[in-house]
Chain A
Amino acid sequence: MSDTVAADVAHALSGHHEEAGFWRTYVFSLDHKMIGRQFLFLGLLMLMIGGMLAMMVRWELAWPETAVPGFSWIPEPYMYGGVIPPQTYNALFTMHATIMIFFVVMPIMVGCFGNFLIPLMIGTRDMAFPKLNMLSFWVGAVAGVVMLSSFFVPGGPAAAGWTGYAPLSARPQYTGVDWGQNLWIISLLILGASSLMGSINYITTIVNMRAPGMTYFRMPLTVWSLFITAILLLLALPVLTAALAMLLFDRSFGTNFFIPEGGGEPLLWQHMFWFFGHPEVYILVLPAMGVTSDLLSTFSRKPIFGYHAMAFSMIAIAFLSWIVWGHHMFVSGMNPLLGTAFMMTTMVIAIPSAIKVFNWLGTLWGGSIRFTAPMLFALGFVSNFLIGGLSGIFMASTPVDIYIHDSYYIVAHFHYVVAGIIFALFAAVYYWFPKMFGRMMNQPLAKIHFFLTYIFFNLTFFPMHFLGVGGHMRRIYNPTQYEFLLPLQHWNVFITVSAFCLGAAQIFFLVNFFWSLFSGKKAERNPWQANTLEWTAASPPPHGNFEVQPVVYRGPYEYSSPEVKEDWLPQNRDLGTGTAARSH
Chain B
Amino acid sequence: MLRWLPVDVSTFGREIDSLFYLIYYITGATFILVTVLMILFLVIYRQKDGRRATYSHGNTTLEIIWTIIPAAILVVLSFMSVSTWAKVKRFAPESDFEIQVTAKQFNWEVVYPGADRKFGTSDDVQFDNDIHVPVNKVVRVHLGSKDVIHSFFLPNLRLRQDAVPGRNILVWFEATKPGKYEIACSQLCGFGHSGMIGWLYVDTPEEYAKWAAEKLSAKPQ
Contacts and interface: CB of A to CB of B under 8 A. Distances in A.
Contact of A350 (B31, B45, B74, B187): B74
A473 B66 contact: no
B4 A466 contact: yes
B170 to A, nearest CB: 11
Contacts of B86: 336, 340
Contacts of A241: none
Given A168-B149, A333-B164, A394-B23, A175 B58 contact: no
B27 interface: yes
Contacts of A475: 188, 193-194
A187 interface: no
Contact of A306 (B58, B82, B189): B58
B61 to A, nearest CB: 11
Interface stretch (B32-40, B109-117, B205-213): B32-40
Contact of A159 (B82, B159, B184, B191): B191
B53 A368 contact: yes
Interface in B6-43: 6, 15-16, 19-20, 23-24, 26-27, 30-31, 34-35, 37-38, 41-42
Contacts of B185: 473
Q: Which of A379, A396, A397 has the most CB of B within 10 A?
A: A397
B4 A488 contact: yes
A354 B66 contact: yes
A87 B191 contact: yes
A362 B88 contact: no
Interface string A262-303: 001111000000000000000000000000000000001111
Contacts of A160: 188
B192 interface: yes
Q: Is the interface of B mostly helix, strand, loop or mixed?
A: mixed
A524 interface: no
A369 B63 contact: no
A391 B23 CA distance: 9
A333 B162 contact: yes
Interface stretch (A30-38, A450-458, A476-484): A476-484
Contacts of A175: 190-191
Contact of A267 (B20, B164, B186, B190): B164
Contact of B160 (A265, A331, A562): A331
B50 to A, nearest CB: 10
A307 interface: yes
A476 B185 CA distance: 9
A343 B75 CA distance: 10
Contacts of B30: 390
A371 B47 CA distance: 8
Given A86-B192, A266-B149, A481-B195, A357 B34 contact: yes
Contacts of B215: none
B161 A469 contact: no
A493 interface: no
Interface stretch (B93-101, B118-126, B131-139, B150-158): B150-158
A469 B164 CA distance: 25
A494 interface: no
A41 to B, nearest CB: 33
Q: How large is the interface on B (under 10, 10 to 19, 20 to 34, 35 or more residues)?
A: 35 or more
A355 B55 contact: no
Given A336-B90, A355-B66, A469 B2 contact: yes
Contact of A481 (B71, B161, B194): B194
Interface in A364-412: 364-371, 379, 382-383, 386-387, 390-391, 393-394, 396-400, 402-403, 405-407
A165 interface: yes
A319 interface: no
A37 B20 CA distance: 45
Nearest to A364: B41
B27 A394 contact: yes
A269 to B, nearest CB: 10
Nearest to B182: A484
A332 interface: yes
A393 B15 contact: no
A174 B105 contact: yes
B194 A477 contact: yes
A561 B77 CA distance: 42
Interface in A451-510: 465-467, 469-471, 473-479, 481-484, 488
B1 interface: yes
A168 B189 contact: yes
Interface string B56-67: 111100110011
A153 to B, nearest CB: 17
A405 B89 CA distance: 15
Contacts of A307: 57-58
Nearest to B52: A560
B51 A368 contact: yes
A362 B188 contact: no
A339 B90 CA distance: 10
Contacts of A387: 31
Interface string B69-97: 01100110110011011101110000000
Given A305-B57, A307-B57, A354-B66, A406 B187 contact: yes
B216 interface: no
Given A332-B164, A355-B66, A303 B57 contact: yes
A447 interface: no
Interface string A317-338: 0000000000000011100110
Nearest to B187: A406
A306 B193 CA distance: 49
Contacts of B54: 302, 365-367, 560
B167 interface: yes
A199 interface: no
Contact of A476 (B56, B149, B160, B194): B194
Nearest to A270: B149
A301 B148 contact: no
B63 A331 contact: no
A399 to B, nearest CB: 4
B5 A469 contact: yes
B147 interface: yes
A366 B193 contact: no
A224 interface: no
B160 to A, nearest CB: 5
Given A302-B56, A484-B6, A394 B20 contact: yes
Given A358-B34, A482-B197, A562-B55, 9 more contacts: A309-B63, A347-B77, A361-B34, A361-B38, A364-B42, A471-B155, A475-B193, A476-B193, A559-B53
Interface of B: 1-2, 4-6, 15-16, 19-20, 23-24, 26-27, 30-31, 34-35, 37-38, 41-42, 45-48, 51-59, 62-63, 66-67, 70-71, 74-75, 77-78, 81-82, 84-86, 88-90, 105, 147-149, 151, 153, 155-156, 158-162, 164-167, 169, 182, 184-195, 197
5 contacts: A387-B31, A391-B27, A473-B185, A475-B193, A482-B182
Instruction: Identify the 9 closest CB pairs spanning chains A and B, nearest first.
Output: A260-B166, A366-B54, A477-B194, A471-B155, A306-B58, A336-B89, A476-B194, A390-B27, A399-B84
